[in-house]
Structure 1
């Protein structure tokens, strides 16, 4: 590995000048990190918003920059016990590496059934951390640095600064909301990042005695800006019907390729976006199975040329009242596939060409954050809210139920009876 002794400067469209220290440069130059240049941040959103071709690489470097900035501001403000600073040096590198385990096209594959995947992206990241090249890059940070950084990413660390990497106010959100909005060209995603960073403080939990990242009460208004930005981005970008349709088709392609042994589940770890699509297409063309032919001649060409599944039914969670979608309908389960294929037969489509889509994410904004009130008292802002503040948990839940939409897509345009579909895949809550 080459010697690294100087910092490097990156020009970023969001944060302007980003300075990378020698260890960050060493990490970035590993093959595991460079792979992120070829993983789109927003999966298939570029099929709806053509500018959304930014990558996990861009985002990771941005979060690193915010981590360095946040630590500098906490140091300038004072009040953090000296012994805590011994835990601080790993934070920027955990921020830099927080997305290293993503599958091709980011989160799309994580909604496949658990038997189809080796693990979620945080578990898969452990494989990349085990690479000799990355281990060597992290060696300058001391013994067990890789394990400590991985624990920070998974939210298992007792590091008092760990909330900057994984938590209600993690820096990940501050970067991706603004970055995604910028590249999608939408007027949403604006977060008062400067106010949030200025409002950061290390507080002691009154119940557990553990130290962690919190905010001064005066910064809660900036936290509200983050909540509303996230709502707008989920409503207009992340869960846009075109984005969800493309992701549904992609999941069906990969699910059926693995089920037919055209791909092995273990092979989903490592490829970039284009590598996975290319390899799936190549093997499907070589396969003499009915599934291989369907993938090669119908589904993959449709995805490549943006002939996406059409909406046949659309119902928001709020409109369902006291009915809830069955758990088995949230991922690619055999029971869900059976219902989909029954619906396909009823409307004259081939098996696999009806897609029930209901985002598996069960909450848009989970809050558990220490707040120092103006009185000096420290309290935890959780599901019950806090007296005298906007009821963020209740507001978040209300926004979420209007944003989370049950959709049924069909490969060719069809109509479906709402009540009959809901009767099959929902139950009384």
Structure 2
């Protein structure tokens, strides 16, 4: 049976048109844990700058699922065309014969990859509980998820995503549970997820190949994946800034599945590099003109200030407030965390949940009120760094960024300036962000018409000219103290920044 016969539902989307759905996808979508994504904005404060940017993670998730399927089907067609033309053994031609359950597992992974995002997006992660708490509350029932959390680290939204997928799956009708292996879905989302139930091997005439690298790369890889492809188009459309546009059909034509090293991988033809560069440039333009807009960053950094002030006042602040389920009337830990996420939209969290957590903390309350009433703090300092002579594996040294932020903060507060009334915002971007984690390949055509496969991250000679790294350093201050940042202090900040960067490497060169 062809998979298309299962696509009995449909949703109209302004970006992709009609998005078709299977019954099991509709069952996941109808669950309250997925419906809550309607109330979680894709870009937390962007609507305060671009009023129509009110779109949510709900429709983005649908878009990622749609594009993942488009990538898979286009690769299947491309493989047959290229194999027929070049007779190349590297090309894997079996995608059009994939088992229905594998296709469904890919689509579910794409649909559900963001389901664990809390309110206010990544800012919420600062309030997440520890690995030890997760093990106490959920570790006995979900040991594979607990094993993904590093010792000493807090839980992240990716871990909550895996937890919620399990929760929804367990609530489905038995007829739906028979359609997929839910552990395969988790493994596609998080490649480090391990379970003896994961089975994503494909038998060929000569060997058994793992298709997991290809499926994972479709949803999350560098420099292009279904997640980025959707949010560029969607954020550009809803912000009204037409700079995240690219030709997705040309990208589809460049993608082919290859078999090497005992697995099936997503690869790009070398002749498609221009399309890849177009995508990279579209993303860079959107970051520069939309995501890094000073007012958007002002509100985001102000929220960071609220969170840090709350933590400073009470290091043990617990938004979840789990209680021991000692009797039948009390809810289990799992029910409590579901209730918390289902009831906390962006607006409710900012206006109610966070307000309660900072009650009595005058400094934090003042900042939070400025956010709610759209009173962005003034930009009193800005420095933009554009390092050159880069390799595609070069990355921003995050520890250096943290130390730079702390150094500037200490210098400013030493001038008797109230630390609760200014915030330092350091934003970085890398054209080849996460290149070290990607498993995609580059197909290079030889003189005889055959192809050779190179790991994308090892293609520096061909791609380094397209590498760009940005580092924006901004300081935002409450209007009551913005005049304190006169030229003398600004020059001292600049000297502090320059001196620090001379002593430390902002760019970390990694070789793999």
TM-score (norm 1): 0.82
Structure 2: which 5+ residue stretches go unaligned?
1-5, 81-91, 131-151, 194-209, 322-336, 506-512
Shift, 1:225, TM fit: 1.4
Q: Does residue 276 of structure 2 align to residue 223 of structure 1?
A: yes
Determine helix, strand or coil for the equivalent of 2:10: strand
In the other structure, the counterpart of 2:122 is 107
Asked if the contact 1:330/1:359 (under 8 Å) is kept, the reply is no
CA RMSD of aligned residues (A): 3.5
Please tell me whether residue 377 in structure 1 is matched to residue 451 in structure 2: yes
Among candidates 123, 126, 130, match of residue 159 of structure 2: 123
Change over 3 Å in CA distance of 1:265–1:362 after alignment to 2: farther
State the structure with more CA Rg.
2
Matched, 1:81 2:117: no
| Counterpart Cα distance in 2 of 1:128 and 1:363 | 32
Q: Which runs of 5+ in 1 are unaligned?
A: none
Work out which of the residue numbers 276, 279, 286 in structure 1 matches 2:349.
Answer: 276
Quote how far apart the aligned CAs of 1:182 are: 0.6
Shift of 1:424: 7.4
Q: Do the aligned residues in 2 keep the contact of 1:329 with 1:356 (CA within 8 Å)?
A: no
Corresponding residue for residue 245 of structure 1: 298
Shift of 1:321: 11
Q: 2:444–2:452: 8 Å Cα contact kept in structure 1?
A: yes
Q: Which stretch of structure 1 is more off in the superposition, 311-320 or 43-52?
A: 311-320
Choose which of 88, 109, 125 in structure 2 pairs with 1:94: 109
Q: 1:9 to 1:317 in 2, by over 3 A?
A: same
Match of 1:155 among 191, 215, 220: 191
Change (3 A) 1:255 1:176: same
Query: Helix, strand or coil for the counterpart of 1:186?
Result: coil
Q: What TM-score, normalized by structure 2, do the two folds share?
A: 0.70
C-alpha deviation, 1:142, in angstroms: 4.3
Give the secondary-structure state (helix, strand or coil) at the position aligned to 1:215: strand
Q: Verify the 8 A CA contact 1:108 1:251 in the aligned structure 2.
A: yes
Distance 1:114 1:355 in 2: 25
Offset at residue 370 of structure 1 (A): 1.2
* 1:392 alignment counterpart: 463
Which one is further off, 37-46 or 310-319? Answer: 310-319
Task: Tell whether the 8 Å contact from 1:152 to 1:166 is kept in structure 2 after alignment.
Answer: no
Pair 1:176 & 2:177 matched: no
Aligned length: 406
Structure 1 window deviating more from structure 2 (95-104 vs 52-61): it is 95-104
Aligned residues of 1:253 and 1:300 also touching (Cα < 8 A): yes
Residue 358 in structure 1 maps to residue 426 in structure 2:
yes
Q: How far apart in 2 are the matches of 1:365 and 1:119?
A: 22
Offset, 1:266: 4.6
Farther-moved stretch of structure 1 (358-367 vs 99-108): 358-367
| Cα deviation, residue 30, structure 1 | 0.9
* Equivalent residue, structure 2, for 1:196: 251
